[in-house]
Amino acid sequence: MDKLAAYLDTINGWVWGWPLIILLFGTHLFLTVRTGFIQRYIGRMIKLSVAKDEGGEGDVSHFGALTTALAATIGTGNIFGVAGAVAIGGPGAVLWMWLTGVFGIATKYAEAVLAVKYRVKREDGLMGGGPMYVLERGMNCKWLGVVFAAFTALAAFGIGNMIQSNTLTGMVERISASAEGVPTIPSWVVGLVLTVLTGAVILGGVKSIAKVCSFLVPIMAVGYVVGCIVLLCMRISVIPETIATIFSSAFAGHAAVGGFAGAAIKQVIQMGIARGLFSNESGLGSAPIVAAAARTANPVRQALVSASATFWDTVVICAITGLVIVSSGEWMHVSGKQALAEAAFRDLPGGGFILTFGLATFVFSTILGWSYYGERAAEYLCGKWIILPYRILWVIAVMLPTLDASGTVALVWNLGDILNGLMAIPNLVSLLVLSGVIAAETRRYRGELTGHPADSHE
């Protein structure tokens, strides 16, 4: 297991080298310009996300599609992903994660525009969409759509399943073992509960998933953010210094435990952008799959709603988590993503509860959201017969890493990173090639940007 983890770590370094970093962040910047700096309409995005649906075909409401996407997006990356970026890249990685989120809003918007434009109605009456359909119908390149779908169906088991359950169950076992007067809770017990709950929801398909996520996501996000703000208020005196450290080390490097060797700045940027993608998934191609299922009047309207997910996930939640971790000062003394996160939150009264609440709800919601992504990708490859077997495998996979939560951490995180990078490549290619279509659709429905849909033209 250790040799395999080391091998995957080497591959991960190749996949997340400078070429992919430049491709990803460069696409964010390019689409920001191509869409006329769509980020300036963030107020409109948020307003639309809670507005009532206005006609259009689809399987779920646009709020249901948004919360399902947020459920898949807000996960361990928002806590342990941020901690891992700081542990390896230092405080400056938080700024690069944040910038990935700010500019990634344009990419998330562009993905949804194409997903809705090129979606299809399947024989069962449900919508099918996502980068695989964009690559097939928009670029006339089905083989690349097959490649994307294959990577997605496999990546889902990493980023959206085993990483999530492994992280949660391992943390619960460690915390319960160290607490006085509390019996140790074996990881398999937590895994079993998580497995049962997952199976109960995903058997109902996208409508069941969207219903649960519409209820769960607002509660978990608001609860975690409010809790973190309370923690930051307790450390208010060090917040200015914390922000200064994040900005200065983003461009000059800053030694974490053991210091940096050689390419310090590369590590800062690499970890920030990689963990930013892991968290907000802008450019990954996952969120457009559920965006294509939304009831919407036009592609731009749903794209604005979808883009707000990146704002909440990275610009807000990851930034707050980063401030909590860096302000604790534990990054100078504690190594390892999990140990660092737990130490940073444990320093303050109630911090352990906030961490546990956030991680437990984030993990469950992510497993639900990604089950839909993986299932749709598998169906694109194999047809409807694969749906039930895939769901069964999905539920089993939730339980597998919990049987050895401490021994599989490095393995599942590296595997998740590798597959994320591989599925992002064909999606980013489609965004760049079809950027003219994205710009044309934005002009066509320009009234949606200003709040006057009547100004749009067919």
Residue bearing the bigger pLDDT, 454 or 386: 386
Q: What is the pLDDT of residues 198-235, one digit of tens each?
A: 988 888 777 788 888 888 888 888 888 888 898 899 88
Instruction: At 441, list the tokens.
Output: 């659709």
Q: How many CA atoms lie within 13 A of 155 on its CB side?
A: 23
If DSSP codes are grouped into helix, strand and coil, which group holds residue 10?
helix
What is d(CA 323, CA 161) in angstroms, rounded to the nearest whole number?
27
State CA 358 to chain mean position distance: 15
Determine contact, residues 171/356, Cβ cutoff 8 Å.
yes
CA neighbor of 86 nearest in space, from 262, 280, 331:
331
Residue pair 415/8 in contact (Cβ under 8 Å)? The answer is yes
Given a cut of 90, is residue 263 above it in pLDDT? no
Which SS3 state, helix, strand or coil, does residue 350 take? coil
Strand 127-128 to 120-121 pairing = antiparallel
Q: SS3 for 405?
A: coil
Q: Residue 456's pLDDT is what?
A: 61
Phi and psi for 317 in degrees, rounded to 5? -70, -50
At 262 the pLDDT is: 36
Composition of the chain by helix, strand, coil, percent to 5: 80, 0, 20
Is the pLDDT score of 253 beyond 60? no
HSE-up (13 A, CA, CB side) for residue 223? 18
Q: Tell me the pLDDT tens digit for each residue of 390-419.
A: 999 999 988 887 766 455 556 777 777 788
- Is the pLDDT at 48 greater than 80, yes or no? yes
* Contact indicator for 151, 167 with CB cutoff of 8 Å: no
- Which of the pair, 392 or 332, is modelled with greater confidence? 392
Selection from 87, 161, 151 nearest residue 328 by Cα: 87
Mean pLDDT of 142-171: 88
pLDDT band at 432 (very low <50, low <70, confident <90, very high): very high
Question: Does pLDDT of 35 surpass 90?
Answer: yes
| pLDDT confidence of residue 17 | 79
Q: Do residues 355 and 223 make contact, with C-beta atoms less than 8 angstroms apart?
A: no
Nearest to 273 by CA among 37, 26, 34: 26
**Which positions ≥6 away from 436 have C-beta within 8 Å?**
none
Rounded to whole angstroms, the Cα distance separating 453 from 455 reads 5
Share of the chain above pLDDT 70, in %: 90
- Convert 112-128 to b/e letters by CB count within 10 Å (16 or more is b): bbbbbbbbeeeeeebbb
Chain length of the chain? 458
pLDDT for 55: 62
Residue 234 CB partners (closer than 8 Å, separation 6+): 348, 349
To 5 degrees, how large is the angle CA 128–CA 35–CA 300?
40
Predicted confidence at residue 257, as pLDDT, reads 45
- Hey, what are 244's tokens? 């200064």
Exposed, middle or buried by CB within 10 Å (0-12, 13-18, 19+), for 18? Answer: exposed
User: How does residue 165 score in pLDDT terms, banded at 50, 70 and 90?
Assistant: confident
Evaluate whether 39 touches 107 at the Cβ level (below 8 Å). Answer: no
Q: Which residue has the tokens 């700096």?
A: 37
pLDDT digits (tens, 9 = 90+) for 270-314: 777 777 776 778 888 988 998 888 888 789 988 999 999 888 888
In angstroms, the Cα distances linking 70 to 10, 78, 354, 364, 429 are: 31, 12, 19, 12, 24
Beta bridge partner(s), residue 127: 121
Residue with tokens 């939640």: 317
What pTM was estimated for this model as a whole? 0.87
